Structures are given as C-alpha cells and as structure tokens.
Structure 1
C-alpha cells in the first residue's frame, strides 16, 4: 500500500528532525537559566525551564509535519498488532493514577498548576519527533524491529541532555534506562491501537504526574506507582516482540 506524501520519507530527514528538536529544546532550556533539578520548585521555573521550549518546539514540529505531508503516517498505522500487550500501557496508567493520588495538591498555586498543564505538551512533541516523524522515515527502509529499537533508543538518549542541565550523571543514566522502557510502552500503545494519539496522551499525562508528584510532600501511594511503573516496563520489553512479529508497516511512499 502506497502513501501519497509531499516529501518522500528518507532516514536522514527523520534524523535531522530529531537532532533539530533536541537542539531547540536544549537551547531554550539552557537560556532560561533554570537547572533541571529545580524545575519543580515553582511555576516560573517549570514554565521557563521546560514549558516554553515545548511550546516553541510544538509549533515548529507542526509546521514541519505539514510541509512534509507526513501527518497520516506519523499518527496512524495501517494495521493494529495483537491486542494483549496493551497490558503494559494499562499498568502505566495505573501507576499514573497512583502518582496523582499521592500528589500534594495543597502545595500547588495557580502558576505551578498552569505550568504543569503546559508540560503535557511533551507528549505531543517527543512522541511526534520519535515515534512519529523519525518512525516514518525509518519505515521507508528498515524492518519494524529496527524501527522500534532505534526510535526507542533515540527517545531515551535525548534525556542525556539533562546531565548538562544540572542533573547528576548517575541519575541521568538511570532515567535513560527507565525512559527506554517507557518508550517501549508508548510504542506498544501505538501498535495495539493503531494510533500515536493515545501514546501522546499517556506520555503527556505521565510527565505531568511525575513533576506534580515532586512538588510538595508525596503521599504513600508514590512507592506503589513506582513499582507498577517498573513492572510495566519489564512486561513491555517482553511483549514488544509480539507487536513487532508479523507487522507490515514498511512505507511505500510516493510524492506529489
């Protein structure tokens, strides 16, 4: 099945978009002067240290996707995979709820809540960059196994920049490992539902719950949420082979 696109997907295009996204986000966040470890201290820190970069990159990504004509292949698969691996995203959703229950909402003021809501945009920007546009470019030449691994590794590795923004290297490497598992969960959600939109939503609200949890004093369910998160990630690494097996998402694109 062929797709009629404005620009034929090429691997270098996806890589260029990925690198451009990382540079834009890192540059805007560095210019804010807010260390990564101080983001959850105030609404101002969260907005200028993270939210502003997401707003700028979201606009740039939307323009780029429109110019390329890649909205459909970036957001939708032709076929869904087997359904049962969706257990992994469901577990992550349960962990998300545990985070929200454990959040100290009394510590929130209006500026912090507004900035935290802006943070939900990360689901749009990071998913469209990696499991949207980069995925589309990789599907022009590679098999689905490589598509999963490269897009997930790229998603995880972009968080190495946090070490340059004040986070300890050890904590950053741990974050990269957990992010690889989370990326696999989001990939599974795309394949089992046939749409990236659900992964965008889960990703955005997951980050919202994580940053909200670190603002104020977290409740007793936080540890439960963290445990479920690890279980979901391990399950996803096992189940991902089943959503890859038999997939036929290789992109045969024509241009207009």
Structure 2
C-alpha cells in the first residue's frame, strides 16, 4: 500500500466522491423525482454523475494503492451469511416481473443499464471498498460494518435537498439495511465484485418504470435479518486487528 489505511483517509475519499457526484447534480440542475423520465434525464442525472465518480474513485484507489484490499476480502465469512443476499436477489427478480415496460425505450434501457453498473461500481467501491479499508486501519470489524453501512445510508440524505423531500430520511434507513446485506455478500464471497453486481441489479430493478413497491417493502425484513447476521458474524470476529493480512501482503520484499 502506498498510504497506510486510516479511518480519516477512508472518510476523506468517501466525502470527495460525494462532492463529485452531487457537484454534477448541482451543475446540471437535478430534478430528483424526474431522473427516470426520459433518456436525456437518465444520461444527465444518472449516468453523468456516476461517470465522474468513477474517474475520481479510480484515481483515488490507484494513488492510495488500495485496489487489492478494496476488492478482495481476506476475512471470508461462513456461507450461511449469504442467505440474505440470496433473498435480495430473488426479490429483485420478482420485482422485474411486476413492472410495465411499455414506456421504456431502448435508449432508456441503455442508460439504465450503464447507470446501474455505475451505481454498483461507485457506491460499493466508495463504501464497502475504500471506506471499509480505511476504517479497518484502526477499528474493530463490528465498527467497520456499522460505520460503513451507516455512512452508506447517510449518503442518500442529500436527496432531500435535491427534490426527494422527507422521504430521503426513509432512504437512509433502507440503505443502511441494504448496505449491511452488501457487506455480508462481500464477506461471504470474498470479493467486492458480487456486491457491485447485486447492488447494480437491485437499483436497476427498483429504478426502471413503476411498480414493485411491495417487493421493495419486503426487503426491509431481509435487511433486518442481515443486521442480525452481521451482529453475529462480527461477534465471531471479536476485536482482532482487521488490517493485518493486508499489511503483511503489501510489504515490499527487501533486495
């Protein structure tokens, strides 16, 4: 690693990503409730800010030398921790079967898919990737899970100011629960990639057209179950140093 992981560094990268993402929204005059109205709104308010965020995060991960630590999980969890991610995937599939796509054009589908890939990559790399690595510099694994999931939830609060209204508060809680499910997926599979894929798929399933509200509501108990599993898992982790495997793996070999 080029920079020793510390919570302050992880939080700084997280805040920088938010500044870039929301900066694009401000510059383009975001109308939050109309993001999915047309191909042009999807391109301007969905794809564009995520493209800018991708560039920023790639530069940050490269400069810090945290790519491997961010993408590969050395503290793999038992397979039973994957129960709730599997249920979330199932709910997403069910949601897709309940929607009317008659008003969704081919170009809208293209931007939805590109944007959803961007959401999965950016938000996972920013939170359960680089932020998680930074937190692991000094915190216990339970604190790492709690703070990374809480900050993931809070990153949705500015939606209130951009037109989302008080409903953004509910988004914070829902995102915390979903973030915990994505955390379990990282731990259970040993790779951040699977969390990126599920995250992008879920956003696409929730974003496209209308309908599927009941399925989204059913994800709440799934998220609560994820919290219970995370509490159990992090109790098994105890307070062992969480960064040690990365630090050893990244030590330069003396000539």
* 2:98 paired with 1:102: yes
Residue 13 of structure 1 deviates from its aligned partner by: 1.0
Distance 1:178 1:104 in 2: 24
Judge conservation of contact 1:99–1:213 (CA < 8 Å) in 2.
Answer: no
- Which residue pairs with 1:122 in the alignment? 119
Judge conservation of contact 2:104–2:209 (CA < 8 Å) in 1.
Answer: no
Judge conservation of contact 1:102–1:213 (CA < 8 Å) in 2.
Answer: no
TM score, norm. by length of structure 2: 0.91
RMSD: 1.5
* 2:242 paired with 1:250: yes
Residue 255 of structure 1 deviates from its aligned partner by: 6.1
- Which of 212, 215, 229 is equivalent to 1:225? 215
* 2:91 paired with 1:85: no
How big is each residue's C-alpha offset from its partner over 1:23-73, in whole Å with a ceiling of 9 and x where there is no partner? 111110121113111111111111201210001111221121112111111
Q: Stretches of 4+ moved more than 2 A in 1?
A: 245-249, 252-256
Residue 88 of structure 1 deviates from its aligned partner by: 0.6
Gaps in structure 1 of 5+ consecutive residues: none
Distance 1:15 1:112 in 2: 34
Judge conservation of contact 2:206–2:216 (CA < 8 Å) in 1.
Answer: no
How big is each residue's C-alpha offset from its partner over 1:132-171, in whole Å with a ceiling of 9 and x where there is no partner? 10110111100000000100011000001101111112x1
Secondary structure of the residue that 1:173 maps to in structure 2?
A: helix
TM score, norm. by length of structure 1: 0.91
Judge conservation of contact 1:191–1:243 (CA < 8 Å) in 2.
Answer: no
Residue 105 of structure 1 deviates from its aligned partner by: 1.9
- Which residue pairs with 2:55 in the alignment? 59
- Which residue pairs with 2:229 in the alignment? 239
* 2:120 paired with 1:143: no
Gaps in structure 2 of 5+ consecutive residues: none
